[in-house]
Chain A
Amino acid sequence: MTFIAIGIMFFSLFLLGAFLWGTFNLFGVISLAREKVEINAFLRENLPQKQVEELSEKLMSMVGVESTEYVSKEEALKKFQEEIQDAPSLIEAVKTNPLPASFSIKLKDGFTSPEKVKEVSEKINIFDEFTTVEYGKSWINKLDRVVKILFLFDILLGIVIGSASVFVVSNTIRLTVIARKRTIEVMKLVGATEKTIHAPFILAGAIEGGMAAAMSGGLLYLIYQLTSKFFVKFYFPHNFIIIGTIVFGIILGMIGSKLAVKTTSKEMKFESPNV
């Protein structure tokens, strides 16, 4: 019975751990995508260097701005030429430099939603030095929708996996407790306190939960190593996933046991063949 309980806890904790790991990677990808959110503010022609520097300082002092990068006319042209190097005729056609200098403005976390980006770019647009302020409006809107859907899906999945594992684990532990119902009954009969009755079950729950979690953490690590070697290197926060799973397993085992023994003990009326 103990082995079955450990096995079921192992499976539940493995699923939970895998879900957490997946969530970490999902948010990793989302934050990478969000880092790409930037505002491009194009400057008027022939602004003095001093004015550009002052403008950079003003931008940096704005709420939500993480960093600014000045792109001169020359740099913009160079970048453009690199981008169209497959079309040499087009490069030759560009005799003068039509590209304006600009600022690439990166935003802080929490300022990358469509509303915030719009708000910040409208504030930047107030400066007379800029002719146009742009951000990838449709791209940001799409990213935001995808993030919201993924986030919702992830929360739902988390709730389903989390509650299923708590349910399965507590019921499995309940079976192991019921298997020792006679012991609980006799303990109550001879005057053992609730603490004395609960303690061995809680201790066993902690050990079983810890063992199951260590095994599932180990398996997740093994999968991480194998996928890194043969497939793709995922992000794997060792401490959080392995130690977190073990701590969660111990707590799950203890709470599951405590609830199971408490319920069994409460339900128990000294069964006798007659009334």
Chain B
Amino acid sequence: MIEIRNVSKRFKKGWYALKNIDLSIAKGDFLFLTGQTGSGKTTLLRLIYMDIFPDEGEVAVAGFLSSTIKEEEIPFLRRRIGIIFQDFKLLKDKTVYENAAFALEVTGQSGRKMREKVMKALTLVGLSHKRNDFPYTLSGGEQQKTAIARALVREPFILLADEPTGNIDPEGSEDIIKILQEVNTAGTAVLMATHDIELARKMGGRFVNLEQGQITTK
């Protein structure tokens, strides 16, 4: 579903954020992307959701190729993937339910089917009882769960998580990873970037380590 072929990305002349990356992620995979801050994890995720494009090589995601995709096609690629961040990116003036529903509303969905999808996602992350609460009343872990629900309402084939536990206490972090594992069990691939190699080891599963833009362990 995702093929990264010999990809390099330069940000400054001569400075490689990523160099000669080869990676494939299949349906149902759970993959940790580990590495220190600045090792290129976020850059790799941005290449997958095509916020930036490789200088060399090619990224293929759900049939879209980085070399041929048109700007107006990018929204349709994004609808196939779910993305969560360390800073949650929730809308403060919307409730938990409204934040999750927003992902469907902006693509023209509404009505009973939309409500069902939103409630299903909120139930999965364990927040259906807090659906009418605003983000500022929630803990960090609950805010991230809201973001996960928003990413899941579209039923993506993969969930990209960029340091999802970065702003959450250790207990909450394990909770989030458990939810990601449940999401994975239900059939969605998960690619989670984290600088916490110990956490990745502890939770088990396949991991890829990045060091100065290069893969060191597959």
Binding site for B on A (CB under 8 A): 182-183, 185-194, 196-197, 269-270, 272-275
- Determine the distance from Cα of A186 to Cα of B83 in the docked complex, in whole angstroms: 10
Query: Number of B residues whose C-beta is below 8 Å from A?
Result: 35
Q: Which of A182, A188, A194, A270 meets B46, CB within 8 Å?
A: A270
CB contacts (< 8 Å) of A187 on chain B: these are: 106
CB contacts (< 8 Å) of A274 on chain B: these are: 37-38, 41-42, 86, 163, 195
Q: Which of B37, B89, B106, B154 meets A196, CB within 8 Å?
A: B106
Known: A182-B91, A186-B91, A190-B106. A272 touches B162 (CB 8 A): yes
| Mask: chain B, 52-94; 1 = CB below 8 Å from A; 0 = not | 1000000000000000000010011111000101110111100
The 4 closest A-B pairs by CB, nearest first: A191-B79, A191-B78, A190-B103, A192-B106
Closest to A190 in B: B103
CB contacts (< 8 Å) of B43 on chain A: these are: 275
CB contacts (< 8 Å) of A194 on chain B: these are: 72, 75
CB contacts (< 8 Å) of A197 on chain B: these are: 106
Q: Which of A182, A183, A190, A272 meets B78, CB within 8 Å?
A: A190
Whether, in the assembled complex, B107 has its beta carbon less than 8 Å from a beta carbon of chain A, the answer is yes
Distance from B88 Cβ to chain A, minimum over Cβ atoms (Å): 10
Say yes or no: B75 contacts A191, CB within 8 Å.
Answer: yes
CB contacts (< 8 Å) of A190 on chain B: these are: 78-79, 102-103, 106-107, 150, 154
CB contacts (< 8 Å) of A196 on chain B: these are: 106-108
Say yes or no: B83 contacts A189, CB within 8 Å.
Answer: yes
The CB with the most chain B CB atoms within 10 A, among A183, A189, A193, A197, is that of A189
CB contacts (< 8 Å) of B163 on chain A: these are: 272-274
Say yes or no: A275 contacts B106, CB within 8 Å.
Answer: no
Known: A190-B102, A190-B103, A192-B107. A272 touches B42 (CB 8 A): yes
Say yes or no: A191 contacts B76, CB within 8 Å.
Answer: yes
Whether, in the assembled complex, B166 has its beta carbon less than 8 Å from a beta carbon of chain A, the answer is yes
Closest to B80 in A: A191
Distance from B39 Cβ to chain A, minimum over Cβ atoms (Å): 8
CB contacts (< 8 Å) of B198 on chain A: these are: none
The CB with the most chain B CB atoms within 10 A, among A188, A194, A275, is that of A275
